[in-house]
């Protein structure tokens, strides 16, 4: 897809999408209520005899209004994983309110450990906490990973034959605190630590050739410690499964020399998401997601570069191997249509497509555009937190795989 006419066509389409999204920011949406679930059903309703022994509790749940402030969801399952293959995953999602539901967004903490029984072990904890009246938003991303994973080198045209196994351990500690400036608008600061150690590459000669002259070899240990400055707009009420609204975030990260760092680099991450709801009675939503990720300046550790599936939530690039394409700049676009299959919201489906590109290293040239797509089914796990069991099948020119998760991709 490096023909100039094709690139121009894609660029025009993406610009039209951006303009369409911007003009729709102020439009009122017919969002499904996130606070009530009248006439809705979930797995607990289907298993009601096991959970509710008396009629009053059952009737209260049928009313669709819950006074609870904490909702748990648990899903042990075998599923596809970002790097390809299958793994045993246990997804635990805790959703709760720390204030009045009328003016406080739903907080979410998720813990999703998994192993592929082939040397990979991952222990991630992610959190998105909202205090009363959304006065403060705290965002956390903690991970410990033993992570052998394939990599292919730099740029958007790396042959599959360059596949090279890189084995490493990884500790991530990200914490951000954002203060409400005005309605839905926030600003704050964050701390970021990335520590890759025991890095060993079992290399293909083509892989190493693609790194030169930027990397003579991969460092066995790298540490990147920085401060990020963040501005954010978020009108969503539920990040598990947004019913409308918009999310936009700009984060600039610096890694100053006062901290222990391998190299000297800065990072810019721009994230935009918009949701259009076409019904006030059922889920009928069209969602758009795009981001731009750039690192620059001095020496940048290879494993800290932007790469497929390594966005902050590790949810992008369905249909591609994680780390398949890597460079110092990345553009990503995704759209997904979500629709209920049943009027009670128990079953639903999605259709999705994504398009991504990484620049040619140390240039601003996005030459190769990489499409993928797929479809999925949804099963309502908890109607009050709007948490779904997600089963997706995704494919691209190079691979096809499935995903089983709790909560929507974006």
Tens of pLDDT, residues 224-249: 999 999 999 999 988 888 989 999 99
State the chain's mean pLDDT as an integer: 84
- For residue 323, what is the domain's CATH number? 2.40.160.50
Percentage of the chain surpassing pLDDT 90? 52
How far is residue 165's CA from residue 187's CA, in Å, rounded to a whole number?
40
CB-based burial label for 12 (10 Å; 0-12, 13-18, 19+): exposed
Q: pTM here?
A: 0.84
- What pLDDT digit, counting tens, does each position of 29-46 carry? 454 444 455 678 888 777
Return all residues near 271 (Cβ < 8 A) that are at least 6 apart. Answer: 247, 248, 249, 250, 251, 290, 291, 312
Instruction: Give the range among 210-214, 226-230, 335-339, 351-355 with minimum mean pLDDT.
Output: 210-214
Q: In this predicted structure, what is the pLDDT of residue 232?
A: 96
In 359-407, beta strands by DSSP E:
370-382, 387-396, 400-406
Tell me the residue range of the domain where 337 lies.
4-406
For residue 221, the model assigns a pLDDT of 95
Spatial CB neighbours of 181, under 8 Å, sequence gap ≥ 6: 187
pLDDT digits (tens, 9 = 90+) for 46-66: 777 665 566 555 555 565 556
Q: Which pLDDT belongs to residue 112?
A: 85
Question: CA 126 to CA 139: how far, in whole Å?
Answer: 8
pLDDT above 90 for 217: no
238, 388 in Cβ contact below 8 A? no
pLDDT of residue 307: 96
Condensed to tens digits (0 to 9), the pLDDT of residues 120-155 reads 899 999 999 999 999 999 999 999 999 999 999 899
pLDDT of residue 11: 44
- Distance between CA atoms of 208 and 111, rounded to whole angstroms? 36
* Confidence (pLDDT) at 51: 58
Is residue 92 within 8 A of residue 111, CB to CB? The reply is yes
Torsions phi, psi of 251, nearest 5?
A: -130, 125
Q: What separation in angstroms does the CA of 86 have from each of 89, 172, 321?
A: 9, 23, 12
Question: For residue 182, what are its two tokens?
Answer: 């005005």
Whether residue 213 has a cis bond before it, omega within 30° of 0: yes
| Residue 77 or residue 354, greater confidence | 354
Report the pLDDT value the prediction gives residue 363, as an integer from 0 to 100: 86
Decide which of 31 and 187 is more confident: 187
- In total, how many domains does the chain have? 1
Q: In this structure, are residues 263 and 290 in contact, taking their beta carbons and an 8 Å threshold?
A: no
CA 408 – CA 315 distance, rounded (Å): 9
Residue 210 corresponds to which tokens in the numbers above? 């693609």
Residue whose structure tokens are 């930027």:
214
Give, as one character, the DSSP assignment of residue 50.
H
């Amino acid at each position: 897809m490096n023909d100039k006419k094709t690139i121009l066509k894609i660029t025009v389409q993406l610009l039209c999408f951006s303009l369409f999204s911007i003009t729709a920011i102020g439009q009122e949406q017919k969002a499904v209520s996130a606070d009530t679930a009248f006439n809705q059903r979930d797995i607990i309703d289907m298993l009601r005899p096991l959970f509710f022994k008396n009629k009053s509790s059952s009737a209260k749940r049928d009313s669709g209004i819950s006074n609870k402030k904490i909702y748990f969801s648990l899903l042990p399952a075998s599923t596809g994983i970002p790097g390809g293959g299958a793994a045993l995953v246990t997804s635990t999602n805790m959703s709760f309110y720390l204030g009045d539901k009328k003016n406080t967004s739903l907080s979410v903490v998720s813990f999703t450990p998994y192993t592929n029984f082939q040397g990979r072990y991952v222990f991630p904890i992610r959190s998105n906490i909202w205090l009363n009246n959304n006065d403060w938003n705290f965002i956390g991303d903690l991970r410990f990973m033993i992570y052998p994973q394939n990599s292919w080198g730099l740029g958007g045209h790396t042959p599959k034959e360059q596949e090279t196994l890189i084995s490493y351990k990884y500790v991530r500690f990200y914490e951000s605190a954002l203060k409400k400036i005005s309605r839905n608008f926030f600003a704050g600061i964050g701390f970021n630590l990335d520590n890759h150690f025991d890095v060993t590459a079992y290399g293909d000669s083509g892989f190493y050739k693609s790194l030169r002259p930027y990397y003579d070899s991969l460092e066995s240990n790298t540490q990147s410690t920085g401060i990020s400055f963040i501005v954010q707009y978020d009108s969503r009420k539920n990040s598990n499964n947004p019913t409308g609204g918009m999310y936009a975030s700009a984060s600039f990260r610096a890694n100053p020399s006062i901290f222990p760092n391998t190299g000297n680099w800065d990072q810019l991450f721009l994230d935009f998401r918009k949701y259009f709801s076409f019904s006030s009675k059922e889920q009928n939503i069209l969602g758009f997601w795009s981001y731009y990720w750039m690192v620059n300046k001095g020496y940048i550790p290879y494993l800290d570069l932007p790469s497929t599936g390594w966005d902050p939530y590790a949810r992008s690039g369905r249909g591609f191997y994680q780390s398949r394409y890597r460079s110092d700049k990345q553009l990503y676009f995704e759209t997904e249509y979500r629709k209920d299959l049943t009027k009670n919201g128990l079953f639903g489906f999605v259709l999705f497509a994504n398009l991504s590109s990484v620049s040619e290293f140390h240039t601003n040239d996005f030459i190769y555009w990489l499409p993928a797509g797929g479809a999925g089914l949804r099963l309502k796990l908890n109607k009050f937190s709007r948490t779904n069991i997600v089963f997706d099948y995704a494919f691209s020119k190079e691979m096809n795989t499935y995903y089983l998760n709790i909560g929507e991709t974006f």
